[in-house]
A and B are shown apart, each in its own frame.
Chain A
């Protein structure tokens, strides 16, 4: 019964499946949402057992828009998902996921990553240089397909555990610092 219900909800939400005309931004938004299912945050990252999981979006209005539409009313585990547009000057450490769009300049990227270093925030950058700049996950396009890289040292720094199942589908997993 619950399964049937979920199927119906999923089918009602546009852009969830790997559709024909899904835009790159929509794919990124979907990836962001799905990452949350394969990452384990330390309990201290949440105020309460049912506190919402907050995804911050920096310099990615289109992604934020898609993501907001996508996650409304959905949960990961028993947590609701929230999308928040943030600025580099904002306090970013209470986020759980931080996506830094391609629009951000390299300095803004570095600054933001530095701001959450050591905090249990899953940083996701959009670009080849993101991983080098210290983000945990970086999007890249391979053969016109959206793929991603994962940096395990970066994850360790932020006290996050990445599921091996996620790693099995990553384009590349960086294990050395």
Chain B
């Protein structure tokens, strides 16, 4: 059905084409001819009138010259023989109407009252001319002629002729094109018929017959080739369709799973106590966030867009803006603690604002997902802990100061006590010496013995007081730190101690000792006390041995003195370094009990530590450390 309609329309189009071309050619030709005729005729009218005016003006010149209106009228009356001229007039040089002629039946009043400038003028229905009458070089007057302009009638008649010719030509063109188009259309019709059958029956094995070898023939070939192609495609399509159906089924199940997961996500979000939100990639909120509205009391219109920022504390808004700016540039997650208005408590509460960028498969930022959790209580607790800590520190500081003050007082007390004790002890020692020297003969042997005890005890008391003074002076004396060669120092100290030593000489093992940074005289005191102890406590064994050595650590040097003497009970290790603490009886080993306390004091002032290892009868090892100091150069 549609094929028939289409076919008719082509036929119609062909006829229309031929007809319109014919029509256009005829119209163009007709218009050109008519225009040519029109302008030629106009020129001939003009020439005709000018010639006539020349003749009449020459003939009427004498009449004007001699003011003979009658003759002039007679001259003009000659124009009665020219049927087209229907009015004429002569004017004197002054412009007065001199003579006239009007064709019978025409309006006599239509003549112009005054002559106009020379020339021909055309109007729709008349041609007029004004021409001066000149004779013997004198202007005698003007001639006016008016002629019928039958140009329009002439044009109408030529248009009528043209219309007739056109009608005839169009008729012939119609007959010819109807006859000719049949030969063109027939093959097309057969192709269209095949196409229609293919459409109706969906039988792609049909083929159009090839009848000619022109463009239509090419069309038939192309059409048949297309049918080949379609036939093949239809088969392929069938199989693709089947596989597509499988795919759709797969996708549907995947979609179901996805929806389930989405529902799960949504429930998860609503299960979380925190406020969750989603913003577009510029940070503007679009959707509804009931949790936010519940927390802040903002309405959707207030928090959508960038309005949500208004719910934060004025002082924190800058922090939020900066964090957002940075996050938008870096497209990286961020977390900040800020104050957010809480409707329920009618005040600002600390919250943790967290935002994570959500990106698509290509890594392009799509939106921001975030949460807001209330950390107000936690924050307050932290604050409290911080305050308590600060308070504690302050208390410790005060207590330390009090302790130091007490220490100083104690030191100065012990110093003054020691100092004051000295003179009575000296007196006892001096007077007992005088007694021994000057009154020896008056004492019996028992008296001598007691005097000896008094003297030795007084000497011991003096030594004790000296040691105490030295110990307490330690707290006052300013240190003079310098590089100290420990090898030399320990060696010289040992040599001088050996000179005074009256026991058996021990076997000495001295290792390599690194240089130290400290007060030389104080460190000498350390060596002296430790080595004296070693010599003293090893003095009573068969083969005494004393070893000096050092171990270098990253940040300190550890020096040690070892002996194989009496040793000590490790249980009393802590008491070793106390003032007046003695583990051995004075009768067994002499000493004041101040030496190790002094060692500890000196080492501690240098920033080091002291400790000892040992066991009863198996010797002892005393360690002390000194911090390494980079300025020392070679250590």
Number of A-B contacts (CB under 8 A): 48
Which residues of A (129-177) have their CB < 8 Å from a CB of B? 145-148, 163, 165-166, 168-169
B472 CB within 8 Å of chain A: no
Say yes or no: A168 contacts B137, CB within 8 Å: no
B116 CB within 8 Å of chain A: no
A17 CB within 8 Å of chain B: yes
Say yes or no: A38 contacts B62, CB within 8 Å: yes
A10 CB within 8 Å of chain B: yes
Size class of the contact patch on chain B: 10 to 19
A6 CB within 8 Å of chain B: yes
CA separation between A37 and B66, bound complex, in Å? 12
- Report B-chain residues with C-beta under 8 Å of the C-beta of A76: 136
CA separation between A18 and B139, bound complex, in Å? 13
Taking A146-B67, A169-B71 as contacts, is the C-beta distance between A6 and B137 under 8 angstroms? Answer: yes
Interface bits B81-120 vs A (CB < 8 Å: 1, else 0): 0000000000011100000000000000000000000000
CA separation between A83 and B61, bound complex, in Å? 25
Closest to A27 in B: B67
B340 CB within 8 Å of chain A: no
- Report B-chain residues with C-beta under 8 Å of the C-beta of A147: 66, 68
Say yes or no: B62 contacts A3, CB within 8 Å: no
CA separation between A19 and B134, bound complex, in Å? 18
- Report B-chain residues with C-beta under 8 Å of the C-beta of A148: 66
Closest to B93 in A: A17
B286 CB within 8 Å of chain A: no
- Report A-chain residues with C-beta under 8 Å of the C-beta of B59: 165, 168
Which residues of B (100-154) have their CB < 8 Å from a CB of A? 132, 134-139
Say yes or no: A31 contacts B66, CB within 8 Å: yes
CA separation between A165 and B65, bound complex, in Å? 11
Say yes or no: A165 contacts B138, CB within 8 Å: no
CA separation between A50 and B375, bound complex, in Å? 137
CA separation between A34 and B66, bound complex, in Å? 8
Interface bits A6-35 vs B (CB < 8 Å: 1, else 0): 110010000011110000000100010010
Say yes or no: A34 contacts B67, CB within 8 Å: no
Say yes or no: B136 contacts A10, CB within 8 Å: no
- Report A-chain residues with C-beta under 8 Å of the C-beta of B465: none
Say yes or no: B71 contacts A168, CB within 8 Å: yes
- B61, B92, B94, B139: the one within 8 Å of A165 (CB): B61
Say yes or no: A37 contacts B136, CB within 8 Å: yes
- Report A-chain residues with C-beta under 8 Å of the C-beta of B535: none
- Report A-chain residues with C-beta under 8 Å of the C-beta of B596: none
Say yes or no: A169 contacts B135, CB within 8 Å: no
B513 CB within 8 Å of chain A: no
Say yes or no: B66 contacts A169, CB within 8 Å: yes
Interface bits A28-51 vs B (CB < 8 Å: 1, else 0): 000100100110000000000000
Closest to B58 in A: A165
Taking A3-B134, A168-B62, A168-B63 as contacts, is the C-beta distance between A10 and B139 under 8 angstroms? Answer: yes
- A3, A163, A169: the one within 8 Å of B68 (CB): A169
- A10, A31, A146, A168: the one within 8 Å of B138 (CB): A10
Say yes or no: A166 contacts B62, CB within 8 Å: yes
Closest to A22 in B: B67
Taking A145-B67, A146-B67, A169-B68 as contacts, is the C-beta distance between A6 and B62 under 8 angstroms? Answer: no
Say yes or no: A6 contacts B139, CB within 8 Å: yes
- Report A-chain residues with C-beta under 8 Å of the C-beta of B92: 17-18
Most buried by B among A7, A16, A166, A169: A169
Say yes or no: A7 contacts B139, CB within 8 Å: yes
Q: Is the interface of A mostly helix, strand, loop or mixed?
A: helix
Size class of the contact patch on chain A: 20 to 34
CA separation between A97 and B135, bound complex, in Å? 20
- Report A-chain residues with C-beta under 8 Å of the C-beta of B132: 3
In the assembled complex, how far is the CB of residue B115 from the closest CB belonging to chain A, in whole angstroms? Answer: 13
In the assembled complex, how far is the CB of residue B59 from the closest CB belonging to chain A, in whole angstroms? Answer: 8
Say yes or no: B67 contacts A18, CB within 8 Å: yes
- Report A-chain residues with C-beta under 8 Å of the C-beta of B135: 37
CA separation between A37 and B137, bound complex, in Å? 10
Closest to A166 in B: B62
CA separation between A31 and B64, bound complex, in Å? 11
CA separation between A145 and B70, bound complex, in Å? 11
In the assembled complex, how far is the CB of residue A166 from the closest CB belonging to chain B, in whole angstroms? Answer: 6
- Report A-chain residues with C-beta under 8 Å of the C-beta of B139: 3, 6-7, 10
CA separation between A2 and B134, bound complex, in Å? 12
In the assembled complex, how far is the CB of residue A135 from the closest CB belonging to chain B, in whole angstroms? Answer: 17
- Report B-chain residues with C-beta under 8 Å of the C-beta of A163: 62
- Report A-chain residues with C-beta under 8 Å of the C-beta of B94: 17, 19
In the assembled complex, how far is the CB of residue B286 from the closest CB belonging to chain A, in whole angstroms? Answer: 91
In the assembled complex, how far is the CB of residue A2 from the closest CB belonging to chain B, in whole angstroms? Answer: 8
- Report A-chain residues with C-beta under 8 Å of the C-beta of B67: 18, 27, 145-146
CA separation between A3 and B137, bound complex, in Å? 8
- Report B-chain residues with C-beta under 8 Å of the C-beta of A34: 65-66, 136
- Report B-chain residues with C-beta under 8 Å of the C-beta of A145: 67
CA separation between A29 and B92, bound complex, in Å? 19
- Report A-chain residues with C-beta under 8 Å of the C-beta of B134: 3
Say yes or no: B138 contacts A169, CB within 8 Å: no
- Report B-chain residues with C-beta under 8 Å of the C-beta of A2: 137
CA separation between A146 and B71, bound complex, in Å? 14
Say yes or no: A10 contacts B93, CB within 8 Å: yes
CA separation between A163 and B135, bound complex, in Å? 13
- Report B-chain residues with C-beta under 8 Å of the C-beta of A19: 94
- Report B-chain residues with C-beta under 8 Å of the C-beta of A165: 59, 61-62
Say yes or no: A169 contacts B63, CB within 8 Å: yes
CA separation between A148 and B59, bound complex, in Å? 19
Closest to B118 in A: A3
Which residues of A approach B to under 8 Å, CB–CB?
2-3, 6-7, 10, 16-19, 27, 31, 34, 37-38, 76, 145-148, 163, 165-166, 168-169
Which residues of B approach A to under 8 Å, CB–CB?
59, 61-63, 65-68, 71, 92-94, 132, 134-139
The 9 closest A-B pairs by CB, nearest first: A37-B136, A169-B68, A169-B62, A18-B67, A165-B62, A169-B66, A169-B71, A34-B65, A17-B94
Offer 14 A-B interface pairs, CB within 8 angstroms, sorted by A: A10-B93, A17-B92, A17-B93, A18-B92, A31-B66, A34-B136, A37-B65, A147-B68, A165-B62, A168-B59, A168-B62, A168-B63, A169-B65, A169-B71
Known contacts A6-B137, A19-B94, A145-B67; can you find 14 more A-B pairs with CB under 8 A?
A3-B139, A6-B138, A6-B139, A10-B139, A16-B93, A17-B94, A18-B67, A34-B66, A38-B62, A76-B136, A148-B66, A168-B62, A169-B68, A169-B71
